[in-house]
Chain A
Amino acid sequence: MIETQLLISVVDDDQSVRESLPDLLKEFGFAAQVFSSAEEFLASDTVMKTKCLILDIAMPGMTGPELHRELERRRLTIPVIFITGHRDEAVRSRMHEEGAVECLFKPFSDTALLEALNKAVPDR
């Protein structure tokens, strides 16, 4: 048993994703927090506690990559797993270039997610 569960934050404007992901993350043994927008996440006190950020790319207002850049600007090195409904390899490679741990195309498998999480928080 892991004494303290690592906190995974999910930022996605889609409610179904926000509803389904925490159940799976709990099965993986993580604690999960969900936010419907980048702004909401930045405004919360969760930012500092978050060990990994599962971040949607296309969102109204601040986009996923913008939030990622903002965090970097703030020198907050939170590992980021981008998730996107757009199946575009170019986007994925760009996201990698920008320092993302992974970029998953929706719908992604539980194993793909777990692999990404393991990459993001290898020391758990």
Chain B
Amino acid sequence: MDAQPRDPAEEIKRLQRCVNDLVSVLAFPAMWSGAEPTQIVHTLLDALLRMLQLDLIYVRLKQTDSEVPIEVVRFAQSQKQITLPHEIGDALQQWLPADPQEWPAQMRIPFGGREISSVVFGLGMQGELGVIVAGSERTDFPRPTERLVLNVAANQAAIGLQEARLLSEQKRVASELDRRVAQRTMQLAEANEKLQREIANRKHAEDDLRSSEEKHRLVVETAPDAVVSIDERGAIQFANPAVLRIFGYEPAELIGTALTVLMPEFMQELHEKGVNRHLAAGHRYNNGEGTELTALRKNGQEFPVEVSFEELSREGHRLFTGFIRDISQRKQAEEMRATQTCLAVVRADVSLAFGKEESLETILHECAESIARHLDAAFARIWMLNRESKILELRASAGLYTHLNGSHSRIPMGKLKIGIIAEKQKPVLVNNLVSDPLISDKAWAAKEGMVGFAGHPLVVGTRTLGVMAVFSRKPLTTGTMDVLASVADLIAQGIERKHTEDDLRESEQRLKETEGELARVARVTTMGELAASIAHEVNQPLTAVVNNSSACLRLLANRNLEPDVLRRALEEIVADGTRASSILARIRALIKKESAEKSELDINEVIQEVLVLAARQIDENQVSLDRQLTKDLPLVLADRVQLQQILLNLIMNGIEAMGAVTNRSRLLEVHSRIDESGDVLVAVSDSGTGLGLEVDRVFTPFFTTKANGMGMGLPISRSLVESHGGRLWARPNSPHGAVFSFTLPATGGSSS
């Protein structure tokens, strides 16, 4: 091994080298800045091996985060020794125990058949970082300069490693921190999100809950149906505001009261029975479908409801909740539809019946049958009022009873229900027939189970024609009344029409008779004229007879016996005699009721009769008629036919006098009054052409202003008036036409 050099020059050179080495070693930290510990170790070992011409150098570094230390070994080129670092480490293990205090400062290690002088330096103040072992085959190893360099290098390495380790630790910590921050951030983000979700969910759930509760509350509070809960005893526990509208009770008013307060009497018993039955049965009772029942308002009005139930048990108690719907309107609508259908059918039947050419009895029977059938009545009847006797006579009966001669076939006005309906002209609807005071035979009603009665007057204008009624074993509704009202009108009008038709037929008959009468009157009117003209007619053949006879006598006297002339004359006498006879026969036929039959007459009545007879002439000639007939005139003693004859003659004259009038109205006035002397006076005036200077001559026979007049009407009228003790005269009318007036003595009687 190297002996201690004595040569001073050598010594200086060695020292110089040592100084250079120290400078290099001091420069290490600059190289290692920011390097990893393994890099530091590698550069340290390479530098020391070369500087100190070592044979072996080994480093073991403790790791902070691992049990396994880092071991690095370097050999001198000359050694050619290939050994793995941990083999060197294992070999050194016996020399380097765990406690750095026990490490030897210097040792001789047998290695590959030789001994190597080795020095040990701990890394760090107490070797806590690791250990460096440097070895050389030289026996003088380590010289003091070498020891110095190694010592400084170990310190530098410790500082570098410390820094690297700190750095690494810092990095690790930083990265760990980053990682943990990131992780934490992520966790927080997740947590946050979860929280948000949860908050949202909870809020949603709360909202749901709140809204659902609100909904339920709203539904119950604002429900159109009444909601009423009762306990097992039937006491009301809850009522919603709808009970006010439907039943008329404030909800608070009902709490604690019995449910039966909401029911009519007949329902209460049914209800209690029903509830007890269900309580006894012990099973839950629900009725979601709804049952139609009758309910009772606070004001006593009954009305139809549809009720559905729900049963809930709460704390061992059973609670029934009823949902009560007011179905008045629905029922009304249903009833109205049924009523209208019924109405249409019955009206059709009634119209059809009245359209037939049948007797009123048959028609009324058909009406009663239709009413009984379609109103579902036990029987239907129609009475008609006899206006004279004031008795309602049963004219039709259909259904259970069809006879018309029973105890109610004749009911006086104002008696029993029927009579009262007729008298008051007001319909009556009764649904408690058995207890009604105006029902005469209650035993019958009870026996037959009659409940309902509806009667309607048959009225036209203000006149009662009769009464129509139905009896029913079921309660009758206002719908029944509507049908009856409508049909009553139809029947009343039908009866009226039928009566009018009968009257018309009768009046036609009367008219025919009147026309016959008129013909007779006309005949008699012209009777004077006819009497004259018939006399005229008869006088013609008589003239011929006389002429021919005279001629014959003269021929005989002159002895001028020309048989041909005589025969012709005699034949003509026979023919003319026969003709005269036949004319007289015709006259006999024409005049039958000629003798005057005087009786007390109301002159106005006779005027009206004559105006009826003249109506057509008045119409056809476009004449306006003005009648001013004084009421309550005294009666006159006269022959009706002759009076008619006089009036008709004056009226027809007046109409004819206006025939040529076109530039003014044709006005015919007929007046009746009492004159100054107390006689009855009748005046007929026209607006015709007038009489002019002939005013005094019109009563002269054969005087006429008419193209086809005989000139006999007025003379005859005058003679007739005079034969009654009256007067007939004429005067001009103002501004146009003529007035013909006649008087008749009044009798003691009066027309009123």
Contact = CB atoms under 8 A, between A and B. Distances in A.
Interface of A: 14, 16-17, 19-21, 23-24, 27, 57-58, 63, 65, 83-88, 90-91, 94, 105-110
Nearest to B536: A85
B550 A58 contact: no
A15 B453 CA distance: 85
B474 to A, nearest CB: 84
Contacts of A91: 701-702
27 contacts: A14-B543, A16-B572, A16-B575, A16-B576, A16-B579, A17-B540, A17-B547, A19-B544, A20-B543, A20-B569, A23-B547, A24-B550, A27-B551, A58-B536, A63-B702, A85-B532, A85-B533, A85-B536, A85-B543, A86-B701, A86-B702, A88-B532, A91-B701, A94-B700, A107-B546, A107-B547, A110-B546
Nearest to B538: A85
Contacts of A57: 702
B542 interface: yes
B624 interface: no
Contacts of A94: 700, 702
Interface in B241-296: none
B547 A20 contact: yes
B296 to A, nearest CB: 96
B541 interface: yes
Contacts of A105: 539
Interface string B698-736: 001110000000100000000000000000000000000
Interface residues of B, number: 32
B543 A107 contact: yes
A88 B701 contact: yes
Contacts of A88: 532, 701-702
B565 A23 contact: yes
Contact of A109 (B541, B550, B551, B572): B550
A65 B543 CA distance: 20
Interface string B538-562: 1111111111101101110010000
Nearest to A58: B536
Interface string B1-36: 000000000000000000000000000000000000
B699 to A, nearest CB: 10
Contact of B543 (A23, A58, A83, A86): A83
A30 to B, nearest CB: 13
Kindly list the 4 A-B residue pairs having the minimum CB-CB distance in the complex, ordered from nearest. Answer: A85-B536, A110-B550, A106-B539, A16-B544
A86 B569 contact: no
A58 B710 contact: yes
B544 A20 contact: yes
Contacts of B558: 27
Given A58-B702, A85-B538, A86-B532, 17 more contacts: A14-B540, A14-B544, A16-B540, A16-B572, A17-B544, A20-B544, A27-B550, A58-B536, A84-B539, A85-B532, A85-B536, A85-B540, A86-B702, A88-B702, A94-B700, A94-B702, A107-B543
B543 A19 contact: no
A16 B575 CA distance: 9
B537 interface: yes
B645 to A, nearest CB: 19
B535 interface: yes
Contacts of B541: 16
A17 B580 CA distance: 13
A91 B544 CA distance: 22
Contacts of A83: 543
A16 B546 CA distance: 11
